[in-house]
Structure 1
């Protein structure tokens, strides 16, 4: 069975070749692009299972490329791991808010990068499996009924507001993925209610309380946002 297809977007030839060599050795099908424009052209001609994206690129930078990939329905859900020499927290937050799924700073270990890629692909596959299932899905003692907008813990119904349900659904649809507050706001925004960036923290506190001992599954990622860890519960 063929391995997943990965697109590497990197303008430094030595780094590009290092990453390409290591991923090809692992059996992945690898394509390369050395500019933002070249990368966008590549995704128009082929589909990829994961994208490695450098921020500092000639022409269109990585942040703009990420923004365009997320706006394109064909690439909106393709995992993106950003690679950059920048290590400031603000750069990481901006990248994640634009839709990147993970972030690694240079220099990095090829083995660690490969492990991150495996994890991102595994999460993406799990998400796809969840979307193919019925409206009811479970994480241990936590059960979510999408059609009825109901949540139960150990068989007991938990009464959530529309916003709380939306946040929980957003996090559980991609277990392990980190969502910024901005991404959560975008996911739960609706006509009958609204939630601001700061209000997300308040909603999370209330949601954790209502979930009881399973509230710890909603983890805070300092400086970034929140994620759902099914293993914690």
Structure 2
């Protein structure tokens, strides 16, 4: 079991007051806290004092589905799994919950070993889906001519060789340094707002313009930030695109050819439909689900379905990983 994630919050109700259940979870190594209203849950999520929530089918006259819907925006940005407790196995309730995005279900009679396995899987999933740990990405990162680095929170965690050559500094001079110490983003007025959106999990991609690095005498760069792990808003990957030099002078026809090549591969090798190709192309250019829906004049739910189909056909777990897999076929 992953012992790092261990704090379980159980919402208490008349139907869900099984002390033996709580004792069994404590014995399994989990830290258990309880609450009787949603406001307490929000406080715990905000203060990072909860790693998984178990909610009853009814709480203070409100359904567990309604509670999940209220909590969902916070759960998505903090990656906290949500389990629904049912008095009995109910196929319709489970189908509704799965469609909404509820992670799992517990129902009577309670099988504590089964519950522990479900909880363990939920925690493992949070660490498993980090695209940055995949072999093909590690190779891409180390061998690429594009300067790149990782962020953990606001600190530079790792840089590649191309980045070290660009700024003419050693790894130890940059790693563990604060991003806002190493780079200044004040040259472009919208940078601070976009970066704040990104670090708070509002967007998965952030483009910072005309950024300067403290070691390059005012040379300006564009920095593209990507979030590779949907379950960890602190983890990010960055590409540095220097301005006003040969590295940045990419002919527009070359850009179009590269994009065409990527779409051709997506169509021929992975069988993406015309609409899926549109969604993939715009996603690769950094558009959010909301922006995609507005651009293509379809619902956000339809966009999500197309993105899910793209991931299924390419056997990837994020659009970012899809880009790398397809690019590796160039």
Calculate the TM-score normalised by the size of structure 1.
Answer: 0.57
Residue in 2 that maps onto 1:72: 74
The answer to whether the Cα contact below 8 Å between 2:293 and 2:303 also exists between their aligned partners in 1 is no
For residue 192 of structure 1, the aligned residue among 285, 296, 299 is 296
1:176 corresponds in structure 2 to none
Tell me the distance in 2 between the aligned counterparts of 1:11 and 1:89. Answer: 22
Judge conservation of contact 2:75–2:81 (CA < 8 Å) in 1. Answer: no
Greater relative contact order: 1 or 2 (C-alpha under 8 angstroms, separation 6 or more)? 1
- Aligned counterpart in structure 2 of residue 161 of structure 1, from 258, 263, 273: 273
1:11 to 10, 13, 16: 13
CA contact (8 A) 2:9 2:53 kept: yes
1:23 alignment counterpart: 25
What is the aligned-residue RMSD (CA, Å)?
4.6
Mean alpha-carbon deviation: is it higher for 116-125 or for 156-165? 156-165
Aligned partners of 2:5, 2:300: CA distance in 1, in Å?
41
Deviation at 1:67, TM superposition (A): 0.9
Instruction: Tell me, yes or no, if the aligned pair for 2:16 and 2:56 is still in contact at 8 Å.
Output: no
User: Any conservation in 2 of the 1:70–1:77 contact (CA below 8 Å)?
Assistant: no
Contact 1:151 1:158 in 2 (8 A): no
Give the Cα separation in 2 of the matches to 1:40 and 1:198.
29
Structure 1 stretches lacking a partner, 5+ long: 139-145, 168-184, 218-233
Aligned to 1:92: 94
Secondary structure at the counterpart of residue 59 of structure 2: coil
Q: CA-to-partner distance for each residue in 1:98-150, whole Å, 9 max, x for gaps?
A: 321112322220110111111111112112x22x458x769xxxxxxx99885
Bigger radius of gyration among the two: 2
Deviations 1:162-202 (A, max 9, x none): 654669xxxxxxxxxxxxxxxxx98x84622637979999x
Distance, in Å, in 2 between the alignment partners of 1:133 and 1:106 is: 38
User: Mapping of 1:139-178 within 5 angstroms?
Assistant: 157-161=269-273, 163-164=275-276
- Structure 2 length-normalised TM: 0.43
Report what 1:221 is aligned to: none
Deviation of 1:40 (Å): 3.4
Q: Distance in 1 between matches of 2:43 and 2:133?
A: 33
> Could you say if the C-alpha distance between residues 71 and 8 of structure 1 is closer, same or farther in structure 2, counting changes exceeding 3 Å?
same
Unmatched 5+ residue regions in structure 2?
Answer: 139-227, 229-238, 240-257, 281-288, 317-330
- SS of residue in 2 equivalent to 1:72: helix
Query: C-alpha distance in 1, partners of 2:16/2:63?
Result: 19
Q: Give how far 1:45 is off.
A: 4.0
Task: Give me the whole-angstrom Cα distance separating, in 1, the residues matched to 2:41 and 2:8.
Answer: 12
- Alignment CA distance shift 1:9-1:197 (3 Å): same
Distance 1:189 1:41, change over 3 A: same
Rounded Cα–Cα distance in structure 2 between residues aligned with 1:94 and 1:72: 20
